[in-house]
Structure 1
Amino acid sequence: MAQAFNARVRHREFNFGDLVLQKVLYITPDSRGKFTYKYDGTFVVRETFSGGAIVLNDMDGTENALPINADALKKYYP
């Protein structure tokens, strides 16, 4: 049973310098219902850790304070 589940697991590998989009994990008071954005901004991967945590930079170079789980990221292809 575990083998069938593990066959569908989506392996996400991010390297230094990859462009990613971050999933919006919070609801803002001015959200537009079902038309709100699902992903936020364009970020650059600065550092990856073995447990799936990733530290991001903005496109202008400012570093985000907290690491983010790889499940909440999606690669961005310009």
Structure 2
Amino acid sequence: MGVAVGIIDGFVYLGTAVMSFTYGFILPQEELDTCGNLIGAATEPANWIAWPISMVPIALIGLILASRLWNAKPKPGSAGH
């Protein structure tokens, strides 16, 4: 079971890396005025709709993969350790 947990954990880190690059590409760029106040496209709420929308397909894929493992049991006769 330790190997399976390690593999799943590795995919968590991989998914986090992929999504961080994705968010950097699809979300509005931060712009600051001379006083340090946020201005530009990042202040418009409609420009942030891509954030929750991009999470839904990935969450569904994760749900499908996790549901396959939810009640998984070792095959009879296989080595346990």
| TM-score bucket of the superposed structures, by smaller chain | under 0.3
Larger strand fraction of residues:
1
Larger helix fraction of residues:
2
Give 1 or 2 for the bigger CA radius of gyration: 2
